[in-house]
Amino acid sequence: MNERQDAVEVVGLRKVFERRARRGLLRRAQGEEKTLIAVDGIDFRVKRGEIFGLLGPNGAGKTTTIKMLCTLLSPTSGTARVAGHDVVREAAKVRCSLGTVLTGERSVYWKLTGRENLRYYAALYRIPRRKARERIAELLERLELAGRADELVEKYSSGMKQRLALARALLPSPPILLLDEPTVGLDPQAARNLRQTIFDLKAEGKTVLLTTHYMAEADELCDRIAIIDQGRIIALDSPAALKEGLGAKEVVRLEIQGEPNGLGDALRALALVESVAVRPSANGAGTCELQVITSNSRRSIGPIIESVRAAGHEVVHLQVVQPTLEDVFIRLTGKSLRD
């Protein structure tokens, strides 16, 4: 990779899967081949040394994109270059330039110790034995696994397994890291520690491309974010610029009692309301949350409450907040990231 070259360049990347419909035990669906467009002609560039995030809901195409970049999946069309190497024609060179951690904690051998896992992968990366020993010790220390390096991985916590997977990816000191949902399944403390590690890697000059569906994580970590939905990039900018893109808008968050049948449409019809997203509340109290993006909360809050009451609901909680990346997503797609 030369000085001026982008770490990752993606042009018109597309992946289409053929899927056959299945019907029960005995009946086989004939002639019902469906095509699923997982990634639909995306373009983006990741600059050297930046943390770049692909943000989107589950099934948006983030993991498919990562898998094409790390050569585990061949693109249907379009091109992608990693460290200047084409992911199809120069797959081996791409794999030499990359450290990849895919989702979950299953990418390491549970019946080996942490150290044995790293020793095995060091051999696959053809790191000379003495150098590998030093590198493994350094990574175990750095990722706080040294104390339990000689225990079987099956005894590790989820956070430790994820750190071991990161250590595996860092073994060959790659200039570029691909992290697919790196904090999924981790407790808050473990997730915080991992985010700090990612910051440290950036400080060392590494380029990080990560996927996440956690807005706060993307906001905190990423220099730039591509918001991806249904295989397409619908926005790409820094988190601050994306939020500023909402203009002087504000978000009214309401928690109401009961099912909001038709209420969303009634609110959308109000003047000054730009978009509304509805989702069940996570507190299990039979309430629903509404996020209303408005250009003027002072003037629209009265009509909003009136509409809620007119629909026979009671407002349990209300707050006016500054926009987040989730609000950007709602504004762009009309739905919540968690839908």
Between helices 114-124 and 129-142, what is the axis angle to 10°? 130
Query: How far apart, in whole angstroms, are the C-alpha atoms of residue 243 and residue 185?
Result: 27
Which residue has 């990574």 as its token pair?
Answer: 139
Counting beta carbons within 10 angstroms of the beta carbon of residue 94, is it exposed (0 to 12), middle (13 to 18) or buried (19 or more)? Answer: buried
> In the complex with another protein, which residue's Cβ is closer, 109 or 133?
109
| Eight-state DSSP code of residue 322 | -
Place of tokens 């597309």: 14
* Distance from C-alpha of 71 to C-alpha of 92, rounded to nearest angstrom: 9
Interatomic CA distance for residues 218 and 228, integer angstroms: 13
Phi/psi of residue 59, nearest 5 degrees: 85, 10
CA distances to 43, 157, 269 from 262, rounded to whole Å, are 37, 45, 11
Instruction: Kindly state the smallest distance separating residue 91's Cβ from another protein, in Å.
Output: 9
Q: 269 in helix, strand or coil?
A: coil
Q: Which CB atom, from 178 or from 251, has the smaller least distance to another protein?
A: 178
CB of 130 to another protein, least distance (A): 14
**What is the distance between the alpha carbons of residues 326 and 334, in angstroms, rounded to a whole number?**
11
Would strands 33-46 and 8-20 be described as parallel, antiparallel, or unpaired? antiparallel
User: Which CB sits closer to another protein, 152 or 305?
Assistant: 152
* Burial class of residue 49 (count of CB atoms within 10 Å of its CB; 0-12, 13-18, 19+): middle
CB of 109 to another protein, least distance (A): 6
Instruction: State in angstroms the smallest separation of the CB of 135 from another protein.
Output: 15
By beta-carbon proximity to another protein, the closer residue of 36 and 241 is 36
Smallest distance from another protein to CB 98, Å: 7
Q: Which is nearer to another protein, 115 or 224 (CB)?
A: 115
Give the residue with the Cβ less far from another protein, 106 or 268: 106
- Which residues of this protein are in contact with another protein, per CB under 8 A? 17-18, 64, 67, 70-74, 92-93, 95-96, 98, 100, 102, 104, 106-112, 116, 120-121, 123-126, 152, 165, 168
Q: Select 168 or 331, whichever has its Cβ closest to another protein.
A: 168
The distance of closest approach from Cβ of residue 72 to another protein in the complex, given in angstroms and rounded to an integer, is 6
Task: Report CA 50 to chain centroid distance, whole Å.
Answer: 16
55 strand-pairing partners: 212, 227
Strand-pair category, 250-257 with 315-321: antiparallel
Residue 79 or 107 with smaller CB distance to another protein: 107
How far apart are CB 94 and another protein at their closest, in Å? 9
**Smallest gap, in angstroms, from Cβ of residue 97 to another protein?**
9
Work out how close the CB of 100 gets to another protein at its nearest, in angstroms, rounded to a whole number: 5
**Residue closer to another protein (CB basis): 70 or 149:** 70
Quote the Cα angle for 111-168-50, to 5°. 150
**Residue 206 amino acid letter:** K
DSSP state of 155: G
